Amino acid sequence: SMKMGVRNRVWADMEARGLVNNAPLEGRIPSFNGAAQACMQFVKLPEFQAARCIKIHPSLAASTLRILVLQHGKTLLTPPLPGHDYLYQLLDPEVLTPAQYRHAGSRAGFMRYGRAVTSLRDLPRVDLV
């Protein structure tokens, strides 16, 4: 597919530049040097500032972004890891303490602190993906 072709070119370029923290890249979203800095820039975007509910994938590279979403008081939706039968984990920053945000943004944390969303009726409006 065209999407896979683009991914393969990006992954090859990242590997050639030494930007990858976890190899092999195939079949996953890689953690890369500068991921945290990219997340810090992302939260400055007007689209992020205006969003109330944000969907972020469960990859290691996005862990800083998941934490920042909670720190900015926004609802976080994360798709389940393989083997689960629900639609999303929902994390509401209002039911967490600020001290819990860092752990809640991790894979283990969103499984612990999140609420499984099993029905489209229970899914909040997503403002940013």
Structure pTM? 0.83
Q: Which long-range contacts (CB under 8 A, 24 or more apart) does 39-48 make?
A: 39/64, 39/65, 39/68, 40/64, 40/68, 42/68, 43/68, 43/72, 47/128, 48/72, 48/128
For the CA atoms of 94, 76, 89, 55, the dihedral, rounded to the nearest 10 degrees, stands at 160
Neighbours of 85 (CB within 10 A): 7
pLDDT number for residue 56? 95
Residues whose CB falls within 8 Å of the CB of residue 86, separated by 6 or more in sequence, listed in order: 80, 116, 117, 118
| pLDDT < 50 regions, the chain | none
**CA–CA dist 35, 81 (Å, integer):** 21
List the one residue out of 30, 34, 77, 27 whose CA is nearest residue 57: 77
Residue 106: DSSP 8-state: S
Bridging pattern class, strands 75-78 and 88-91: antiparallel
pLDDT number for residue 25? 67
pLDDT number for residue 29? 74
**CA–CA dist 68, 81 (Å, integer):** 21
pLDDT number for residue 123? 94
